[in-house]
Structure 1
């Protein structure tokens, strides 16, 4: 099968959607399919990666002049898979071109759409009415799309995937939780407003106040982005030397970090899925996050971690786990022995089934 994956953003930019599209392309190729990735993000040439950046310098990966290149790539594909973020003019243009050309089309929403998406509702509903197969990365994200488009067509869940072997820790080498050992917390995020890195610093401070002073804490928050500097400044102002912001870490570096840690903090409210939290869960960490976000796809409160309605409650729930090592140990034991469901094997099967539905919906497709 010839598959075109379309995403406004791609490497060298790094984020959840960029990584997922790259991983999906690799998995599809291993399964014997021909895959081309189309993006408006400029960068080095890569085989089967079609970069269509704007001919002039723009502050974002958009290209209003990409129509000719998109039409040529769409015409050669059996299935076109559109990946949408918060705003995705490049991928949206590709969706319109694909549907107008009668190509079997799958659309995946990677973000939690809200009121700001209302102007796009009619366009999205038009795609669905034209035969596009609509999907989202989690149940909560799908519900948002359903509410905005008011479409009667089910929005299927097509989750992000991981390879648990990349993250799994030795079950016999769990980090100690003895009286003299620090409780180690971790997170990995893009330091951008939507991920709430500054609120993470406030959350950590609240946890510190709710835990006895003799209990040592360490927090490593990995990642880069525009708010990394302000976050570091807040840590310095608070003299919180137990918080470290090392910048971006590679996957192997993150895995090694997680294997030393106990808890993963996910402060984002608008987390459509939370691939970094899933990776930490696969590494055996207890995950603490906001109820109603995408992490509920793989975190059951009290089993895989703790969920809370807001930051204050989340601080209390995390502090309670730290103050009750037996409860934290029970979650750690569970997460180290039970792999999450969202493996690439399952996700790839679900993706190919979705492509089959798109092909069936467009009889003119090859």
Structure 2
């Protein structure tokens, strides 16, 4: 179960689930994906679909008629999605396919990807009486630097806690995420397995880095959200332009903080040096990776960072913070240049080192490409995931009380952080 699956892809989660499911199917496993249809599409615009793609049965549901908008009614929208997925799951279990024919189907395991499918995954696993495996791709506390003081953040955190504690096995994509899940949702959790995200190197063709004529070109690819740290790259750009005249940044991605980041570029007087190009399709992103001097990932919070693997596969020099899983991918001075999260001076120095010596940057990129061994291949990741499925046993359930969420006053306002409704909709307790 996943709230993202192609063609509905928001970020790395959708790509992860897609590649994992197709690798599982290629290995001979019977895989059904329950997901949603196009954003905002009710049954009048999208009747739902039930089709087999690359060996994977994909059941996509429309949104229910009540008017809920994800950005404004997150809890209600998520519950409504859960209802739709539960109905779809029951149809699959009871054996009604897209043509109404009876084909009973019994899963060996239910695999949930993140909190948005928690209600449906817990319900279907209970009805089918099979183990529930959950991959925790990120946490609300992590996205907000440890703070869950707002009403919406508390709600999301409590659903994450519930999913983690209901699961019979847990998967995280990095050791740092494993530690984060243990700290936030333990004790008493099922075993946590660390399985890295993967990369299909054939889809990200390698091109050896080379000196390019003209001013330096930097690329940022990711969601336009505070935790992705683009604001730090924008703050560093004036310093970089003083040293490397004409340096530009191309920003590939969408998100809630587009206007705030555009205002930040204007404040730093670099608006003409920054191009916000929106979300790029696969071929456009490959071309952008081949055309830049470095991909800069200044994340303040990053469970893994699948775009880093995509850049490595494409041969693009990598400059990244040490946040979360990025710190497990990039070895400073060996496979890329690294810096501490939120360290604008460190970011500036890391980018400058990359631009000053393109030959050394190319050597680091080549070493990074050699790192992409079978450990990051989807067939290996699917095999490890099947091992988690096989070992998972449905645990004895006991009633769960609501989690005790430690309330703390909101931290002093960071002037570089955008104000959102989740920051102010409830007073601190």
Offset, 1:108 = 0.1
Alignment of 1:159-174 (within 5 A): 159-171=196-208, 174=209
Alignment of 1:108-257 (within 5 A): 108-114=135-141, 115=146, 116=148, 119-120=158-159, 123-124=162-163, 126-128=165-167, 132-151=168-187, 153-171=190-208, 174-176=209-211, 181-209=214-242, 211-213=243-245, 216-235=246-265, 238-257=269-288
The aligned counterpart of 1:20 is: 16
- CA distances 1:264-291 after superposition (whole Å, capped 9, x unpaired): 1112211111111221121112222221
TM-score (norm 1): 0.82
Distance in 1 (CA, whole Å) between partners of 2:347 and 2:384 is 33
Offset, 1:221 = 1.5
Q: Structure 2 stretches of 5 or more lacking a match?
A: 52-57, 71-76, 95-105, 149-155, 397-429
Distance in 2 (CA, whole Å) between partners of 1:142 and 1:55 is 38
Quick one: structure 1 residues 40 and 167, their matched pair in 2 at CA, closer, same or farther if it must change by over 3 Å?
closer
User: Is the contact made by 2:247 and 2:273 (CA closer than 8 Å) also made in structure 1?
Assistant: yes
Quick one: structure 1 residues 122 and 161, their matched pair in 2 at CA, closer, same or farther if it must change by over 3 Å?
closer
SS in 2 for 1:293: coil
RMSD, matched Cα: 2.9
TM-score (norm 2): 0.71
Among 108, 111, 131, the alignment partner of 1:78 is 108
Quick one: structure 1 residues 123 and 333, their matched pair in 2 at CA, closer, same or farther if it must change by over 3 Å?
closer
User: Is the contact made by 1:39 and 1:52 (CA closer than 8 Å) also made in structure 2?
Assistant: no
Distance in 2 (CA, whole Å) between partners of 1:112 and 1:120 is 10
Quick one: structure 1 residues 298 and 15, their matched pair in 2 at CA, closer, same or farther if it must change by over 3 Å?
same
Matched positions, count? 344
SS in 1 for 2:272: coil
The aligned counterpart of 2:69 is: 59
User: Is the contact made by 2:293 and 2:355 (CA closer than 8 Å) also made in structure 1?
Assistant: no
User: Is the contact made by 1:262 and 1:286 (CA closer than 8 Å) also made in structure 2?
Assistant: yes
Distance in 2 (CA, whole Å) between partners of 1:188 and 1:306 is 17
SS in 1 for 2:65: coil
SS in 1 for 2:251: strand
Quick one: structure 1 residues 290 and 133, their matched pair in 2 at CA, closer, same or farther if it must change by over 3 Å?
same
Quick one: structure 1 residues 260 and 65, their matched pair in 2 at CA, closer, same or farther if it must change by over 3 Å?
closer
User: Is the contact made by 1:290 and 1:308 (CA closer than 8 Å) also made in structure 2?
Assistant: yes
Offset, 1:226 = 3.0
User: Is the contact made by 1:7 and 1:91 (CA closer than 8 Å) also made in structure 2?
Assistant: no
Quick one: structure 1 residues 357 and 74, their matched pair in 2 at CA, closer, same or farther if it must change by over 3 Å?
farther
SS in 1 for 2:10: coil
User: Is the contact made by 2:198 and 2:378 (CA closer than 8 Å) also made in structure 1?
Assistant: yes
